[in-house]
A = this chain, B = another copy of it.
Amino acid sequence: MFTVKKFGGTSVGSVDRIKAVAQRLIDAKNKGEKVVAVVSAMGDSTDRLVDLAKQISKTPNPREYDALISTGENVSAALLSMCLNELGVDAISLNGSQAGVQTEAHHTKAKVKKVNPDRIIQELNAGKIVIVTGFQGITDCNNITTIGRGGSDTSAVILAAALGCDECEIYTDVNAVYSTDPRIVSTARRLEQISHEEMLELAQAGAQVLHPRAVECAKINGITIHVRSSFETQEGTRVKELKNMENEKPVTGVAVKRNEVKLSLLSVPDTPGIAATIFSQLGKAQINVDMIVQSTEVNGSNNITFTVGNEDSEEAYKILEVIKKEMGASQIDKKDNISKISIVGVGMISQPGVAAKMFETLGNNNINIDLISTSEIKVSCAVNNEDADKAVQLLHTAFELDTPAE
């Protein structure tokens, strides 16, 4: 039985932690598993490499940037394998090239095209624990690539798929996915399972346990992700395909994303392609846009409103100023210190009134809603930062997510 286990930067952040991971892998091997471990770089080692690159260039050559920052994973993979060997267990580290992770040539954010797992399987069948560097791959021309955001989680899921596994274990510094952040709501409920779709929405709404891309990838390949703690043996949360959910509660979790900035372009003439122009300009500048709302004024012109992270707000404002002139919009509005509160649940598809209940709960408690956006299984409201914790607590209770008193 092949199993894939991914360990993030914190889990391999020191020699002692690497030793703990090694022990964990040995325990799994002793249970009969043929283990592949996917590792991130140690702690902040990638940040240190990025810092070196920045000292040399503001826009480093992408191929060289990949050659540089991929070395962090090589270090942790070699150390972990070395540690297993030291403990008397046969192991081998494989980098992206050796592991057969073939990607596009789009450096710093290459998509994985294909995994050729021959060598991994050969080493596993020879009785070895196989350590694979996360986050990196190789192009057809033998150039090193990195696969961008959510890299190592995604590497692990893709390898699990290539090896025909049903499940991929992701070890992290939290022990499960919760109905909301337990630091905000002490009665946050530990989830035994959650659907890929819900996890996707939660992740995009600010829950930082798993990167959305890895969840997406798991969904496409039918892989269950088991999120669990590197420091405990207890099982965590399974992110999986869930069926027969008619009886579920409408809401599975509440997420919060803080420090966004709301920007509005007011009285934009209602001609086709205007939203496209705005958001393609922002995209070119690598600005991640979060909520987008378009509304129509009485006179037929449009208001386009969206939120971006605080760090991108100045640049976004500058871009809007240019567009405003070109389009003859009347003005730009900017509001800082916004938090996005989201309720997520597959159950809300079949239960009407969920959004209304959210607005009511916030309204009854004098929390002003700045912006609303919805998807099939998510409702998000932008509120002031200082109302965020209270909003999460109220919604968590309103949707009956609190752990029952025992």
Contact = CB atoms under 8 A, between A and B. Distances in A.
21 contacts: A15-B56, A19-B56, A52-B79, A56-B79, A56-B86, A57-B83, A60-B82, A60-B86, A61-B81, A61-B86, A61-B91, A64-B81, A64-B85, A65-B78, A67-B74, A68-B75, A68-B78, A70-B74, A71-B71, A71-B78, A97-B142
A95 B74 contact: no
Contacts of A93: 64, 67
Interface of A: 15, 18-19, 49, 52-53, 55-57, 60-61, 63-65, 67-68, 70-71, 74-75, 77-79, 81-83, 85-86, 91-93, 95, 97-98, 119, 142-144
A369 B97 CA distance: 57
Contacts of A78: 64-65, 67-68, 71
Given A52-B15, A67-B93, A98-B142, A57 B75 contact: no
A82 B55 contact: no
A82 B97 contact: no
B68 A56 contact: no
Contacts of A77: 67
Given A67-B74, A74-B68, A79 B92 contact: no
A97 B91 CA distance: 22
A83 B59 CA distance: 10
Contact of A82 (B15, B64, B82, B142): B64
